[in-house]
Amino acid sequence: MVTPVPSTILGASPDYTSLQAWNDDFDDVTLPIDLVAADEQHDALCRGVDLSDGMPTLTVTGQTTDPTRFLRVTTDAGASFADTVQALTFDTANGAFIDADDAHFDTINVQTPHTRIEKLQIQRTSSAVLGNGCLNFTGAADGSSARNMLVQWDGSDGGTGMNCDLGCTGLKYINSISICSTTANAVGLSIRDDDDTMMVNCTIVVPDDVDPGDGGSGIVGEISAHGGPDLYNNCVFGWESGDAFFLITGGTYTHNASDDSTVPGTSTKPSLTYADSFIDVSDATQDFRLKSGSELINNGTRRENETFDLDIFGQPRSVSTPDIGCFEFQAAAAPAGVVGGQLIHNVTVLDHHKSIGY
């Protein structure tokens, strides 16, 4: 049976004072932790706030061939932006984050199989085209995943929010948001020569008052020898000069949405009005939770094996008609009122799409 091995990062009496120091224990040839031989799961539980410590390139000695033996970078209990429902925007006050600038090639670069990155805020601020992305999976990272992530790229030149590169197999992006606040060549998610990549319930956006330039697109598929990605319940908005979905071929696509006409597949929602879809689409005050009346509400399809019927904040999704994107709109509990001549108290919404109970 796999043994969980948690390690706290920063905070009171931490096991490690930086994320990179935790990773170095896997890189150090004198203290190898080989997840082929060791029946273990290693979790880096990030605490505190600023985890910026260079480029945490996640590697282990040997090949991890069993998906139950993995590295996971996540947060300690209560330390994630996703632990409290709040504005969907990068905010250092909202939880643990990893930040990088032009001194670092990537913010996180995953190079080992079955690595899981969960519940973190990641930001890259760039004044020049440099690196692969805020979160980059390279060719050895087969079976890795990003779940409940908030990724933002800021700066005066382009980059990629999330990038899967050089022939990875079986990558998954689940319940995550990529915000590209760059003024040129912005790409939300790039899929390059990767096989069986799956993307479910993700939101890819450029703020409405940011011009992403001619060289960017929301989701780019650069597929040659491998099969295309599978895209379910994703929404892409804000690429005024580029395409929301570009070079997407060879996979399964259903229940995706955008504000242009490039949405591939079946049961699509193309050409939606950006400002009607989210609470606030401006750069300075952004909040990419769904607003009441959004056409993304009730128009998804269930993928419970990937999402566990929860959204980016751990809120329940409808089991019949979930919303499109990382956030599930929750109808508020109704106040006490009069129904049929009787005073009704504590009306609670049980399934916000389908029924109420008294």
Average pLDDT of the residues in 205-221:
76
DSSP conformation letters of 135-190: EEE-TT-TT-EEES-EEEEEESS--EEEEE-SS-BS-EEES-EEEEEESSS-EEEE
Q: Report the DSSP pairing between strands 257-258 and 160-164.
A: unpaired
CATH number for 3-327: choose from 1.10.405, 1.10.3470, 2.40.50, 2.160.20: 2.160.20
Helix, strand, coil in percent for the chain, rounding step 5: 5, 35, 60
Q: What is the dihedral of CA 316, 319, 322, 325, to 10 degrees?
A: 60
Distance CA(106)–CA(55), nearest Å, equals 6
Please, what is the end-to-end C-alpha distance for the chain in angstroms?
45
Q: Where in the chain is the domain with CATH 2.160.20?
A: 3-327
Beta bridge partners of 284: none
pTM for this entry: 0.86
Count Cα atoms within 13 angstroms, Cβ side, for 276. Answer: 10
Distance CA(254)–CA(246), nearest Å, equals 16
pLDDT digits (tens, 9 = 90+) for 109-132: 787 888 899 999 988 776 555 455
Distance CA(219)–CA(7), nearest Å, equals 34
Distance CA(73)–CA(23), nearest Å, equals 10
Identify which has the larger pLDDT, 249 or 279: 279
Q: Which two tokens stand for residue 137?
A: 């999976």
Who contacts 249 (Cβ-Cβ below 8 Å, separation ≥6)?
221, 223, 228
Q: What percent of the chain has pLDDT over 90?
A: 34
Distance CA(295)–CA(76), nearest Å, equals 35
pLDDT higher than threshold 50 for residue 169: yes
Distance CA(39)–CA(70), nearest Å, equals 9
CA 216, 218, 224, 225 dihedral sign is: positive
Contact between 135 and 148 (Cβ < 8 Å): no
pLDDT digits (tens, 9 = 90+) for 266-288: 999 999 999 999 999 999 999 99
Count Cα atoms within 13 angstroms, Cβ side, for 82. Answer: 27
Burial of 157 (0-12, 13-18, 19+ CB in 10 A): middle
85 to each of 61, 88, 287, how far by Cα in Å? 38, 9, 11
pLDDT digits (tens, 9 = 90+) for 285-298: 999 999 999 999 99
Distance CA(66)–CA(39), nearest Å, equals 9
pLDDT digits (tens, 9 = 90+) for 131-153: 556 787 877 788 889 999 998 88
Distance CA(205)–CA(315), nearest Å, equals 21
Identify which has the larger pLDDT, 306 or 353: 306
